[in-house]
Amino acid sequence: MTRRLGSGTLVIATHNAGKLKEISALLEPYGVKCISAGSLGLPEPAEDGTTFVQNAMIKARAAAEASGLAALADDSGLSVDALDGRPGVYTADWAERQWFEGEPGRDWYMAMGKVEGLLAQKGADINRSAAFHCVLAIAWPDGESAVYEGLCPGSLTWPPRGELGFGYDPVFVPDGKNQTFAEIDPAQKHASSHRADAFAKLVAEQFGS
């Protein structure tokens, strides 16, 4: 049987206040108090894995070892069938501006354009199937761990549509829908997203009867 968190303090392996708030709200009903790795002054480890699982585990283990507490990390991204699963673990990297492109940061329109450009090179009838992936990894200081994988299949559209999402949301249409993630109500998106799928599996195993 997988080890359970129970109530208590959980380190969320992030320096992003928004992500901490989102995860805290999801776990609050189960008596879990969440604190961020950033608030503890923990460094961000190099995410040099080649899969979502590897990168999530790198972050979770680093936070657990440094804090002495159980830690939760996530890693997520977009995979495109016709691009052999790319951008995959490099989803955010494809949005990184280079020094000669102006101010440092991420340009998601540029990233969406890069994906569309590669698809266009393959012809008008190319398969546009894609999926968002999310991996949640829990690590304990003694080395034990658990992994939960979530998936949201769909397809890519062009040009981008909608103002409600972020990242690649404006070009991603989930299966069974005709609107992009950036066109639907955020609450509806969160209820059916790849992260929701992964969290449902985590809750069922960690807090189920």
Whether pLDDT at 97 is above 80: no
Reduced DSSP (H G I as helix, E B as strand, rest coil) percent helix, strand, coil of the chain, to 5 = 40, 25, 40
Whether pLDDT at 185 is above 90: no
Residue 112 tokens read as 């969406």
Q: Which is more confident, 146 or 98? A: 146
Task: Quick: pLDDT tens for 6-57.
Answer: 778 899 998 888 788 888 888 888 889 999 999 999 998 988 899 999 999 9
Over the range 169-204, which residues count as b (16 or more CB within 10 Å of their CB) and which as e?
Answer: bbbbbbeebebbbbbbeeeebeeebbbbbbbebbee
Mean pLDDT of 153-182: 92
Active-site residue, 75 included: yes
> Which stretches of the chain are DSSP H helices?
17-27, 52-67, 108-121, 186-192, 194-207
Total-model pTM: 0.86
Q: Which residue has the tokens 């680093």?
A: 62
Selected catalytic residue, list 75, 125, 142, 169: 75
Q: Which is more confident, 189 or 157? A: 157
Q: Regarding the domain delimited by 8-207, which CATH topology (the fold level of the hierarchy) does it fall under? A: Maf protein (3.90.950)
Task: Quick: pLDDT tens for 163-176.
Answer: 887 889 999 999 99
pLDDT at residue number 24: 87
pLDDT at residue number 100: 46
Q: Which is more confident, 195 or 100? A: 195
Q: Out of 71-85, 92-106, 194-208, give the one with best mean pLDDT.
A: 71-85
